[in-house]
């Protein structure tokens, strides 16, 4: 293979980089469908719309979008490069915020077991607000606690999705 062919192939891949997004959507769609179709459910305990319905619909949607995006890219379609964003592309990324958010999400995932959702969720909401720039110590923890308790109540009581209560299980 000559250098010209290699450069031509790299140039074609750069011009069609959206194909990577299509491939990612295809892989995720296949994974979601595989997981949904192999899910072990007892149909006698469920109504006509069981736990497989939404994952199957999402998996099919992901596959359809992947195919349509691939066709569009191969026909010459291109995404607009940051045209509508109000950002300065010459400035570097804010890695401090990204790392703070990643740490908050990781801490939330680790703490949900021992502390339960109400406490870990409040820490997650408060930490996210802090990482994104809010410094209102007088109201942010209160808003985070209310948000976490409302989310816990909606999922646990109204939707029937059991969330870990942690030490507050007897109180809630």
Query: Is the domain of 47 the same as that of 107?
Result: no
pLDDT tens digits along 67-100: 999 999 888 877 666 655 666 667 777 889 999 9
pLDDT tens digits along 25-82: 999 999 999 998 888 876 655 566 777 888 999 999 999 999 999 999 888 877 666 6
Alpha-carbon span 13 to 81, nearest angstrom: 16
Query: Is the domain of 56 the same as that of 107?
Result: no
Residues 6+ apart with CB under 8 A from 145: 118, 122
The contacts found for 155-163 with CB under 8 angstroms, 24 or more apart, are 155/117, 163/116, 163/117
- Residue 89 in any domain: the answer is no
Query: Is the domain of 109 the same as that of 164?
Result: yes
Most confident of 81-85, 100-104, 136-140: 100-104
If you average pLDDT over residues 13-31, what whole number do you get? 87
pTM above 0.75, yes or no: no
Query: Is the domain of 8 the same as that of 68?
Result: yes
Residues 6+ apart with CB under 8 A from 114: 166
Q: What is the pLDDT of residue 143?
A: 95
Residues 6+ apart with CB under 8 A from 112: 120, 121, 164
Q: Where in the sequence is the domain holding 120, given as residue range(s)?
A: 95-168
- Residue 47 in any domain: the answer is yes
If you average pLDDT over residues 145-159, what whole number do you get? 90
The number of domains in the chain is: 2
Sign of CA dihedral 24, 26, 29, 35: negative
Alpha-carbon span 66 to 31, nearest angstrom: 13
- Residue 90 in any domain: the answer is no
């Amino acid at each position: 293979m000559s250098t010209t062919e290699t450069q031509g192939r790299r140039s074609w891949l750069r011009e069609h980089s959206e194909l990577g997004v299509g491939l990612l959507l295809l892989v995720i769609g296949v994974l979601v469908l595989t997981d949904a179709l192999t899910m072990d459910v007892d149909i006698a305990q469920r109504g006509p719309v069981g736990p497989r319905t939404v994952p199957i619909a999402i998996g099919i949607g992901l596959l359809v979008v992947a195919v349509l995006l691939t066709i569009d890219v191969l026909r010459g379609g291109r995404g607009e490069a940051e045209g509508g964003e109000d950002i300065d592309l010459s400035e570097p990324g804010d890695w401090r915020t990204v790392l703070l958010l990643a740490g908050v999400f990781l801490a939330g995932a680790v703490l949900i077991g021992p502390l339960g959702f109400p406490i870990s969720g409040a820490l997650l909401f408060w930490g996210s607000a802090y990482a994104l720039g809010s410094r209102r110590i007088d109201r942010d923890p209160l808003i985070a606690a209310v948000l976490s308790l409302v989310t816990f109540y909606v999922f646990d009581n109204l939707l029937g999705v059991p969330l870990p209560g942690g030490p507050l299980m007897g109180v809630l």
